[in-house]
Amino acid sequence: MNRFSPLTHAFIVLVLSIGILYSLPNLYPAKPAIQVAYTDSSKSADQRLLSDVEQILTSNSILVESVGLKENNIVAKFSSFDDQLAAKAALQKNLLDQAIVALNLEPSTPQWLRDIGGGPLKLGLDLSGGVHFLLEVDIENALDNRLESLLNEYRKKFRDDRIGVESSTKDDTVLTFAFVSDEDYNKAIRAFNEDNITAVGTSLYDLQLNSIRNIVSLKYSQSAIKEIRDYAVGQNLMTLRNRVNELGVSEPIVQRQGSSRIVVQLPGVQDTTAAKKIIGKTANLEFRLEAAPTASRLRKEEFSYQDERMGSAYLEKKIIVAGERVTNANSGFDESGFAQVNITLDMQGGRAMQKATNGNIGRRLGVLFVEQKNKSTLVIDDAGNEAIEQTSYIEKRIISLATVQAVLGTNFRITGVGSPQEASELALLLRAGALAAPMKFVEERTVGPSLGKENIQLGVRSIIMGLLSVIAFMFFYYRWFGLAANIALFANVVLITGFMSLLGATLTLPGIAGIVLTIGMAVDANVLIFSRIREELKEGKDPQTAIQEGFSRAFVTIVDANVTTLIASIVLYAIGTGPVKGFAITLSIGILTSMFTAILGTRAIVNLMYGNKNIKELRV
């Protein structure tokens, strides 16, 4: 009696081995490492950079464990933090602005563990230090701008086509046109239909017709709003990724959250002001007219082309429109089949462009790409040591200089941009330089690196203290049964770590609290079982039957109690964000593993101690 079948034993051993296996990577300490990437984010690291890095390290006689290409970076691992810092200094000194050198921690998980998908727990920002931003994309603004440019487009079209318009207004989200006569009204509807705007079956606009009063009103359909929102958020996401790359952070996260929010997480970043400046910058395109050759030095400025072979040109100092006014840009072909870039500006931008180009037809219009860059220089500091000084500066380069053919408004095109490939690159640059819709910071959390380390220490200390006190209590109160429960409790902690690593869950400070709480509550199942066994013994049952009955009677209670706690933690996961989600994950995993260890694990140990033996007296 009270023996598990070999199959049950095999199952317990299997689950335990999986848990142990996947918690193993956490025992290998993270190695100090350095990431090197080209400053130009369009270039990914290559053999040349790799051999440069290797050569710099050897010539400075820095011990390196391994150097290799990983994704778009070169990753070098070191055995000590001193080597890592020495290497960073040496690399920066030699590569200067050619490459971004970032300090990093690389897991030293052995290859065989990585092959089966093992890796250490990811640390949340509250443990690793870093910045978390939540940005909201202002869709209202994007919609407003587009609607306004649509209004102007049709005003112009009706004027050109001599369609009599009595009034045209934009009221919040609705455009309303009132026409002079039935004839004008019908012509206008034909014009709308030509643009695929129809009263029925169109997916982009909802058109409402009033043929008695000759009024047409137009607004975006639900699906169009969704499309515009997706476009704006997607576009901003791409722009943000480009900008985050400039920061040279290892493992940044840039993700969409919900319908119109974007999360940016930058582990290890300390200078939040710089990070915010780069993430939040908007105007990085400028449209300026080419300066007349006779213009005074005070009113013109010399800029070089993005393509260095083309030299430089003089542009006026006055900025007509900046990048924040660009709402869209894409490449296409003109009537004769040459590549062109179509640009859409918002209302304000269109007005400014119209004013500037009016009377300047035939002159050339330049597009400047503005980038904030960092420049590193070697200096000798006060103490006489070599130091790298970083200064940020703004670089402006001409990406296009084309002749103005007509007065420009919200929509215009740039021709003579070279090959279709170059046109699409220019469109991409124009789009990347601009945000599809303005964004604002709605949440920001910065954790300094010292606080992160402190949090880990405190967390680990409270886990150890909690675990020790529970283990001591259980052993003194239940003796041998307590020992069985303690072994199960220990297995539980291993299982939680293993499964969390396997699932790639992120450990946060509240997550650690979740583990601690699980330790306290996990013994509950065992306490229930042991109390039951005591009662059975008191009723005069023999020890073997008492063990049997105790376990099976407590089972139902344990399941009920845990399922309800699980419900609470699932709700917590659903409503929580960041750290609270971390707590919910550890709590849920903890409940499941503790049921396993308390019911099957403890039973197995108790069975091994007492099963099939003739026990006269049982002390619980």
Q: Can you tell me which residue has the tokens 């300390």?
A: 270
From the list 420, 576, 608, 618, which residue makes contact with another protein (rule: CB under 8 A)? 576
Residues 6+ apart with CB under 8 A from 402: 364, 365, 414, 415, 416, 417
Name beta bridge partners: 77: 33, 66
Q: How far is the CB of 550 from another protein (least distance, A)?
A: 12
What residues between 185 and 214 interact with another protein by CB under 8 A? none
Considering the complex, state which of residue 128 and residue 340 has its C-beta at the smaller distance from another protein: 128
Largest CA distance in the chain: 113
**Could you give the strand order of the β-sheet that contains 99-106, starting from the edge strand earlier in sequence?**
66-70, 73-77, 31-38, 99-106
- Using the Cα atoms of residue 314, residue 320, residue 324 and residue 325 in order, give the sign of their dihedral: negative
Query: According to the binding rule CB under 8 A, does residue 536 interact with another protein?
Result: no
Considering the complex, state which of residue 169 and residue 469 has its C-beta at the smaller distance from another protein: 469
From the list 446, 497, 506, 593, which residue makes contact with another protein (rule: CB under 8 A)? 446
Query: According to the binding rule CB under 8 A, does residue 509 interact with another protein?
Result: yes
Yes or no: say if 115 and 573 are a contact pair by the CB < 8 Å rule: no
Query: According to the binding rule CB under 8 A, does residue 264 interact with another protein?
Result: no
Query: According to the binding rule CB under 8 A, does residue 572 interact with another protein?
Result: yes
Three-class SS state of 346: coil
- Strands 253-257, 300-304: pairing is unpaired
Closest by Cα among 514, 530, 528 to 566: 514
Query: According to the binding rule CB under 8 A, does residue 535 interact with another protein?
Result: yes
- Region of 157-165, 218-226, 360-368, 523-531 interacting with another protein (CB under 8 A): 523-531
Considering the complex, state which of residue 292 and residue 575 has its C-beta at the smaller distance from another protein: 575
Token reading at 293: 């050759």
Q: How far is the CB of 469 from another protein (least distance, A)?
A: 4
What residues between 324 and 353 interact with another protein by CB under 8 A? none
Query: According to the binding rule CB under 8 A, does residue 527 interact with another protein?
Result: yes
Considering the complex, state which of residue 323 and residue 452 has its C-beta at the smaller distance from another protein: 452
From the list 216, 430, 600, 606, which residue makes contact with another protein (rule: CB under 8 A)? 600
CA distance 584 to 510: 9
What residues between 450 and 479 interact with another protein by CB under 8 A? 450-451, 454-455, 458-459, 461-462, 465-467, 469-470, 473-474, 477
Q: Go through 503-542 and write b for each residue having 16 or more CB atoms within 10 A of its CB, e for each that does not.
A: eebbbbbbbbbbbbbbbebbbbbbbbbbebbbebbeeebe
From the list 84, 94, 245, 562, which residue makes contact with another protein (rule: CB under 8 A)? 562
Cβ burial, residue 440 (10 Å; 0-12/13-18/19+) = exposed
CA 28 and chain centroid, separation:
27
Yes or no: say if 261 and 442 are a contact pair by the CB < 8 Å rule: yes
What residues between 122 and 161 interact with another protein by CB under 8 A? 126, 134, 136
Considering the complex, state which of residue 433 and residue 482 has its C-beta at the smaller distance from another protein: 482
What residues between 265 and 284 interact with another protein by CB under 8 A? 272-273, 276
What residues between 385 and 444 interact with another protein by CB under 8 A? 440-444
From the list 385, 406, 556, 614, which residue makes contact with another protein (rule: CB under 8 A)? 556
Total Cβ atoms within 10 A of residue 111 = 6
Query: According to the binding rule CB under 8 A, does residue 550 interact with another protein?
Result: no
Query: According to the binding rule CB under 8 A, does residue 603 interact with another protein?
Result: yes
- Region of 53-61, 208-216, 389-397, 552-560 interacting with another protein (CB under 8 A): 552-560
